[in-house]
């Protein structure tokens, strides 16, 4: 098998298989597999806890011709476990002289409706990619991530049809060794439900959780004021 055809999906959500990151990443690698590439998936939070897992992470990265990192936005940045994983990779690659060409692309999703909240995290990943000698192949950036949730994208087909179109176009480009196109990014990042509806659904979700934990009357507390 040609190393260039070997894709590694790294899921960087602590929610693992029930995360939006996982749904989006799964769809993309299934498209890449249909286009003739081979893909494997690893959950970052499972790997980074122990030395054995950290070694596995580094070995998997070494074997891959293309790495796709799918993760949620946390506090305008990357989740701590993802930062840790990127630090491991950076340290490991410092010691390597002959670094082979490896592609690096990301799928990022955030809870706010607008995609621009992801811009700082995308810039961080771009710098990481350059510093470790990866070849930056682009970012797919999504808002309203909470409305996607876990499970397969195909199940939500109508609502996420533009997200799917964006992933299809991105897979086509990546499989040909090209960067993710602007067209793919645009489709992927299109708002797929009205903001008012998304906010309403979000509020219902918070209220449901507050009720579950007996915190209904505390939901408007501001303890740090």
Residues binding ligand FMN (CB under 6 A): 13, 15, 19-21, 72-76, 109-112, 117, 145-146
CB atoms inside a 10 Å sphere around CB 23: 27
Minimum CB–partner distance for residue 107 and ligand FMN (Å): 9
3-state SS string for 174-218:
HHCCCCCCHHHHHHHHCCCCCHHHHHHHHHHHHHHHHHHCCCHHH
Is the Cβ of residue 6 or residue 19 nearer to ligand FMN in the bound state? 19
State how far the Cα of 27 lies from the Cα of 190, in Å rounded to an integer.
17
Q: What angle do CA 106, 103, 48 make, to 5 degrees?
A: 60
To the nearest 10°, the Cα dihedral for 197, 169, 180, 58? Answer: 90
Minimum CB–partner distance for residue 1 and ligand FMN (Å): 29
State how far the Cα of 185 lies from the Cα of 83, in Å rounded to an integer.
24
Minimum CB–partner distance for residue 117 and ligand FMN (Å): 4
Is the Cβ of residue 69 or residue 184 nearer to ligand FMN in the bound state? 69
Minimum CB–partner distance for residue 75 and ligand FMN (Å): 5
The DSSP 8-state label assigned to residue 139 in this structure reads E
Is the Cβ of residue 74 or residue 134 nearer to ligand FMN in the bound state? 74
| CB-based contact 111:146 (threshold 8 Å) | yes
Is the Cβ of residue 106 or residue 132 nearer to ligand FMN in the bound state? 106
Is the Cβ of residue 146 or residue 151 nearer to ligand FMN in the bound state? 146
Minimum CB–partner distance for residue 32 and ligand FMN (Å): 19
In the complex, residue closest to ligand FMN by CB? 145
């Amino acid at each position: 098998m040609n190393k260039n055809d070997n894709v590694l999906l790294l899921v960087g959500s602590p929610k693992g298989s029930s995360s939006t990151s996982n749904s989006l990443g799964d769809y993309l690698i299934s498209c890449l597999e249909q286009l003739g590439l081979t893909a494997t998936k690893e959950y970052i939070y499972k790997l980074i806890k122990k030395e054995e897992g950290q070694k596995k992470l580094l070995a998997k990265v070494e074997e891959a011709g293309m790495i796709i990192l799918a993760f949620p936005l946390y506090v305008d940045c990357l989740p701590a476990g993802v930062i840790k994983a990127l630090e491991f990779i950076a340290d490991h690659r410092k010691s390597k002289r002959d670094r082979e060409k490896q592609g690096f692309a990301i799928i990022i999703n955030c809870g706010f409706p607008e995609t621009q909240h992801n811009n700082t995290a995308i810039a961080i990943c771009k710098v990481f990619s350059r510093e470790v000698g990866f070849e930056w192949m682009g970012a797919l950036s999504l808002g309203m991530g909470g409305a996607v949730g876990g499970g397969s994208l195909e199940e939500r087909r109508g609502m996420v049809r533009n997200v799917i179109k964006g992933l299809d176009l991105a897979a086509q480009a990546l499989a040909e060794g090209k960067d993710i196109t602007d067209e793919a990014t645009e489709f992927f990042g299109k708002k797929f439900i009205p903001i008012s509806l998304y906010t309403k659904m979000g509020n219902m979700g918070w209220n449901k959780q507050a009720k579950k934990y007996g915190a209904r009357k505390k939901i408007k507390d501001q303890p740090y004021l």
